[in-house]
Amino acid sequence: MRILLMGNPNVGKSVLFSRLTGLGVIASNYPGTTVSYTRGSMQLNGTTVEVVDVPGSYTLDPTSEAENVALQMLETGDIIVNVVDATNLERNLYLTVQLLERKIPMVVALNMWDDTTHQGITIDMDRLRMRLKVPVVPTVAVTGEGVKQLVELLHTAAITDIPVRNQDERWITIGSIINEVQRLVHHHHTWRNRLADASVQPVTGGILAMAILCGSFFLVRFLGESLIDYLVNPVFNTLWAPILEKFSSFLGGAGLLHNLLIGKLIDGQVDFVQSFGLLSSGLYVPFGMVLPYIISFYLALGILEDSGYLPRLAILMDTVMHHLGLHGYAIIPTLLGLGCNVPGVLATRILESRRERFIAATLISIAIPCAALQAMILGILGKHGIQYVAIVYGTLFAAWLITGFILRHMVKGFAPELLIEIPPYRLPIWQAVLRKLRMRVSGFLIEAVPIIMVTVLVINIVHYLGILDNIARLTSPVVTGLWGLPKEAATAIIVGFMRKDMAVGLLMPLALSVEQATVACVVLAMFFPCVATFAVLFKELGFRDTVKATGIMFLAASTIGGILRLILSL
């Protein structure tokens, strides 16, 4: 048996899904599309049944790729749980009426029930059940209220005899239902209402966005770096390194197998950044470099999601993002990339079209420096004055705008408008935030870690065969002639493919002038992404689009680097 959770976007489907299925979930793309959905399982009357979190849809007359997928998945369901926002009943009932016309057993979960009291909304449940002729259960997914009753009523899911009607007839029916079951009373504006109004105004919304995003960024960086310094590095350095060093002695300290598994020893010891072995760097890259930021970013993202702020940020940024061929929701993966590009690229799944995902992922890889790289940029340029750090960030911001504007006109495909419901502000429930965090982290471990390790293995082989050194020699004319850097900088730029902050560190012994260091930092930020990001790009975009994105990165880094060198020399 398959149960489909269907409803408008931002009605709490995903939270209800996590309540029903726990942690045993699988996220994947619908065949032939870039639209992702999640499926899991639950026990119903002693039998294991499949539960699918269908992409959010406003109508069964598709206006986007996500709604088209929702329509196709409707044909595969045995029972529908229609999740409805109780505070926006009229708008949500249009999809409900369309689902009733499909003659599939259905139960309605009237979610966000607790907010109806806060907003002065009264709903007559008995009359609503009578009008819809299916079970209706009030729920509060974030706290679990009503979920047990919902599960108990699944076996009573009903089919109605409602005939198929046109759009005007449906709205007449909905108006009749609303007049009969819903009553509104006046309520005074609370601080949450006033905050909600201020969040979408250009001036107050912009100030609020800057404050929230800066706070989120520093929180993520603090949590990520704390996990690395106080948990991950001690585990790798004190527990795992001695084991690898003994294994290295067992293998004789050299040879092909030794280099593939452990890599090159640095001063007789395993260096998890520079050794390039599958059991050294191959494990440290995903678990030591990326996972701490994945955890901290998804924690912050979950708080912003469950508080109701992200849809407001998307609306605030929609006009700007449209100039880059995107809509407002693209600001979310962009901001994630400021901590680590890997979760940024993974978060492009929230965008509806393949065109949007390609543009957003490419822009993140080109112009959004991760937290570790930003720290090194501050370290190498900060001592020369804040103006050079500002030049780097200003150049990257200009590259983000210019490249996005060009891609908007060059990349063909579907670019949907931003049509979203804005949920009310509410205090996040920690149990729901942590449950969602576990789901997302487990998804990263299942999907991204194997790809990253395979990519590290390939890079290790290439490095062992000396191909990286040959690439460095071949690119030295560009490095010296176009960017004005010493030929030794070519090695640092190639190493940046493994870890960009380490590559910036390799520039320090080269005695670069401040102008050369500025150009080098910009080029490193814009050049090929680190191996972890590259692996995730391949997973999300596929081989063909990854090759295209790589070509764009090379062209953008070469052009911007050359222009910046010319400007600074003048």
Considering the chain, what is the average pLDDT of its residues?
Answer: 84
Based on the fold, state whether residues 160 and 293 are members of the same structural domain. Answer: no
Strands (E), 185-328: none
The pLDDT of residue 59: 92
562 domain residue, yes or no:
yes
Residues 351, 211: one domain? yes
In a shared domain, residues 38 and 71: yes
H or E stretch including 111?
strand 106-111
Question: What is the model's pLDDT at position 203?
Answer: 86
Same domain, 126 and 225: no
CA distances from 234 to 42, 242, 248, 271 (A): 39, 12, 20, 13
Least confident among 94-103, 259-268, 362-371, 412-421: 412-421
For residues 336 and 250, membership in a common domain is answered with yes
Share of the chain above pLDDT 70, in %: 91
Q: What is the pLDDT of residue 169?
A: 93
Q: Does the structure show a pLDDT above 60 at 108?
A: yes
Which range of 347-361, 392-406, 484-498 scores highest in mean pLDDT? It is: 392-406
Q: Residues of 424-448 as b/e, b for ≥16 C-beta within 10 angstroms?
A: bbeebbeebbebbbbbbeebbeebb
Count other C-beta atoms under 10 Å from residue 234's C-beta. 11
Give the Å distances, CA to CA, from 1 to 23, 45, 49, 265, 501.
19, 12, 5, 55, 50
DSSP string for residues in 219-251? HHHHHHHHHIIIIIHHIIIIIIHHHHHHHHHHT
Distance in angstroms (rounded) separating the CA atoms of residues 127 and 211? 45
pLDDT at 498 over 70: no
Residue 67 to residues 6, 32, 322, Cα–Cα distance (Å): 11, 14, 21
What's the pLDDT score for residue 421? 63
Q: According to the model, what pLDDT value does residue 501 have? A: 65
Least confident of 147-151, 263-267, 396-400: 263-267
Q: Please check whether residues 164 and 210 belong to one and the same domain.
A: no
pLDDT reported for residue 417: 59
Measured distance CA(161)–CA(158) in Å, rounded: 10
547-569, pLDDT tens digit by residue? Answer: 999 999 999 999 999 999 999 98
Mean of the pLDDT values across residues 473-477?
Answer: 77
pLDDT tens, position by position, 401-441:
999 999 988 988 766 655 566 777 778 878 878 887 887 78
Please say if the pLDDT value at position 286 is more than 60: yes
Predicted local distance difference test score (pLDDT) of residue 33: 54
Task: Tell whether 173 and 240 lie within a shared domain.
Answer: no
Q: What is the pTM of this model?
A: 0.65
For 203-219, what is the mean pLDDT? 85
Query: Residue 105 is part of a domain; what is its CATH number?
Result: 3.40.50.300
Query: Of 150, 184, 218, which marks where a domain is finished?
Result: 184
Highest mean pLDDT of the ranges 205-209, 415-419, 491-495: 205-209
HEC per residue, 443-458:
HHHHHHHHHHHHHHHH
Under the banding of pLDDT at 50, 70 and 90, the label for residue 63 is confident
Residue 61 lies in a domain: yes
- What is the bridge-based pairing of β-strands 121-123 and 79-85? unpaired
- Tell me the residue range of the domain where 95 lies: 2-184
Domain end point (choices 153, 184, 215) = 184
Over the Cα atoms of the chain, what is R_g?
26
Give yes or no: residues 179 and 223 share one domain: no
The answer to whether position 190 is within a domain reads no
Together in a domain, 412 and 543: yes
Q: Say whether both 43 and 150 belong to one domain.
A: yes
Task: Specify whether 144 is located in the same domain as 253.
Answer: no
Q: Give CA–CA dist 535/456, Å, rounded.
A: 9
What local confidence, expressed as pLDDT, does residue 560 receive? Answer: 94
Distance of CA 6 to CAs 3, 69, 89, 177, Å?
A: 10, 12, 15, 20
Cβ atoms 85, 8 nearer than 8 A: yes
CB atoms within 10 A of CB 496: 25
Instruction: Let me know if residue 412 belongs to a domain.
Output: yes
Shared domain check, 279 and 142: no
Contact status, residue 388 vs residue 343, Cβ threshold 8 Å: no
CA angle 394, 397, 401 (to 5 degrees): 140
Average pLDDT over residues 67-96: 93
Does residue 166 sit within a domain?
Answer: yes
CB 435, CB 356: distance < 8 Å? no
194 in any annotated domain: no
Helix, strand, coil % in the chain, rounded to nearest 5: 65, 10, 25
Asked whether residue 167 is domain-assigned, the answer is yes
Domain assignment present for residue 218? The answer is: yes
Looking at residue 123, its pLDDT comes to: 94
Q: Does residue 509 carry a pLDDT above 70?
A: no
Give the Cα separation of 533 and 285 in Å (integer). 11
* Domain closes at, from 127, 151, 184: 184
Number of compact structural domains in the chain: 2
Task: Classify each residue of 273-287 as buried b or exposed e, where b means 16 or more C-beta atoms within 10 Å of its C-beta.
Answer: bbbbbbbbbbbbbbb
pLDDT of residue 547: 92
Confidence of residue 32 (pLDDT cuts 50, 70, 90): low
30 pLDDT higher than 70: no
